[in-house]
Homo-oligomer: A and B are copies of this chain.
Amino acid sequence: MKIGKNIAAFLLVLAMSGGYCLAQSPAKVVEDFKPSSVNQPGKEFPQVNSEGRVRVQISAPEAHKVQLDISAVKYDLVKDEKGVWTGESAPQDEGFHYYQLWVDGAAVPDPGSLYFYGASRWGSGIEIPAKDQDFYAVKNVPHGQVIELPYFSKTNNDMRRCFIYTPPGYDKDTNKRYPVLYLQHGGGENETGWASQGHANLIMDNLIAEGKVKSFIIVMDNGTWAMTGPRPADRSAGTWPPKGWADGFMKTLLEDIIPLIDANYRTIADQEHRAMAGLSMGGMQTRVITLAHPEVFSHVGIFSGGSITMEDLANSPAFKEKNKMVFVSYGSRELENTRAGFGGNPKENQDKLKEAGLNTHFYVSPQTAHEWQSWRRGLHEFAPLLFTK
């Protein structure tokens, strides 16, 4: 039985040496995967399990290396006898994540997912079901419209387009007029982001159905397109944010977009009924533009994009006088690292503004990073605070 003993000893060593690996390997993956809610119609993959792992699958019979690339980590897939590659990621945070596949060195979208604009490209996205996903679910409640409108921009001498949310009933009572929120995406994203991966329209529809918010119009335009500096595709060559990242869009917003909206939609066209908010780069633009033009905007929302300081306030006395509300939010994981500040502790800055007499609100999204779940929640907290007086 010497051979037997040796084999047993060998197996014991195998089991022990494998112990560490097993803690992180597919062997412990919970097998309750379901197709992602943002898959293309009829596609079985990608899938998500109850741990938040993402499992992808792609047929690539002639490939020798295929990887899933999500949240800055690449995971090797495994090939079966039919040439189909399958594999999964570590558990992901709740909410929406961009991702891509690598097939023998080519970075490509996953043919199974819907596509979203982020990281300066149209690419794959996945939804890890969140405990609070009900607030942006498509429900049988009255729905507003999301309008795509092409328009000519004098300041850019070019055609542009924006998306406009009008609340339920907008086309029924044609005497009613509405406040407006100008809502901006982040760097590497575009004017489709807030209605697509952000679900801004569904968040509003649901809040309105619950009677928790005043109805208002939302305008979503492209904050990168109008930059006088380099466009997103060129930015790797330069500094970030690129030159003109706020000034260029400010001119387009003030001289083209706001007049366009006030001329074509039933707005209440004054400072008290006009807000601006944005995420990341869009939050940075919101800060610069609303500080420079307190006579235009009364309510300000900055999601994961810095905060307003006492120095800002000193430089813009009119802002202090005219502003009606400053909202700042972050994902909790952002506050755990140094990036969060964007030039200062946002909570401390908000507290100081409050002491100085401003109406401020600060919100932290639990267990989320610099991603869309933070910003969906940010809008959900921000919207009920708008135009309430």
Contact = CB atoms under 8 A, between A and B. Distances in A.
A111 interface: yes
Contacts of A58: 106, 108
A83 to B, nearest CB: 6
A40 B265 contact: no
A103 B140 contact: no
Contacts of A159: 138-140
Q: How many copies does the complex hold?
A: 2
A147 B145 contact: yes
A83 B103 CA distance: 13
A342 interface: no
Interface residues of A, number: 57
Contacts of A41: 120, 190, 231-233
A115 B114 CA distance: 10
B40 A121 contact: yes
Interface stretch (A61-69, A298-306, A327-335, A362-370): A61-69
Given A103-B108, A105-B83, A233 B60 contact: no
Contact of A103 (B103, B121, B138, B143): B103
Nearest to A139: B159
Contacts of A150: 138, 143, 202, 205
A186 to B, nearest CB: 15
A240 interface: no
Contact of A115 (B115, B195, B234): B115
A152 B209 CA distance: 15
Nearest to A263: B172
Interface of A: 40-43, 58-66, 83, 101, 103-109, 111, 114-115, 120-123, 138-140, 143, 145-152, 159, 164, 171-172, 174, 190, 195, 202, 205, 231-234, 264-266
